[in-house]
A and B are shown apart, each in its own frame.
Chain A
Amino acid sequence: MMNDPRRLEISGQNFQQLISGVVEKGASVTFKVTGKSMFPNIISNDILTLAPYQDRMPQVGDVVGVANPVTHQVIVHRIINKKKGLFLIKGDNILKSDGLFMKKSIIGYVCRIRRNNSNIAITKLKNKKNAFLSRIRFFCLSKPLFYFNIIKY
């Protein structure tokens, strides 16, 4: 009736439900990530710990977990801007943003990154610097590409 400890392959909406379930209880959640969208700050097989915000407000620079409203998969990307209670979220290594999210859509923030059994330091200053660089890439590079697409079609 019970499967003993083993790696269970779950993804998408189910994974998001589990992560949200843990964080909603005020606990942190640890999981392994894949992908290159946050390279070099987060890479495949890093083990992240996501903590709930509770009373604290999300800050520009925080790496956060949000549910993709279309695919319901959990995205772990950075807040690069904040305006009128909405948070602009984007991967450090991609040009396109994920869009604007309300606080209630943010599951939690990354408080710990483990890579090869070592902790990767997370500091406010480093987060702010990465958000700044990501914002520059977004505003300077993504818009010309966007205009180019309009001309092209």
Chain B
Amino acid sequence: MDIDVQMDSIFTVSDNIIAKNIEGQLMIVPLISGVGNLDEEMFQLNSTGTAVWQMLDGKTRLSDIVSRLSKEYEADHETIKQDVIALMETLIKKNFIFKVK
């Protein structure tokens, strides 16, 4: 599995998940063999994670996502970059997203 996350990488969301925005936070249910397990396998992204998720459209580079977040949250660019990379690695490991470039 390719978990090499670079700033010019582009990611998109997997078809094998259900993601629903509930009260500003994203709930993710992976579909394992066509079954979504709401009892044990459910994940939640906070509002910042949800903002990142919404930009994973298969077109936007990671560097652009980090720039947009830096402007929006007025936080240190390097901190946001490290947080976004860590999130991408977690999402890739769980097969929620994959790299298109």
Residues of A within 8 A of B (CB): 1-5, 8, 10, 14-15, 17-19, 21-22, 25-32, 47, 49
Contacts and interface: CB of A to CB of B under 8 A. Distances in A.
Interface residues of B, number: 28
B31 A22 contact: yes
Interface of B: 18, 20, 22-23, 27, 29, 31, 34-46, 48-49, 52, 83, 86-87, 90-91
B46 to A, nearest CB: 6
B35 A10 contact: no
Contacts of B23: 14
Contact of A14 (B18, B22, B37): B22
A114 to B, nearest CB: 10
Contact of B20 (A3, A18, A27, A31): A18
Contacts of B52: 1
Given A8-B27, A8-B44, A22-B18, A2 B35 contact: no
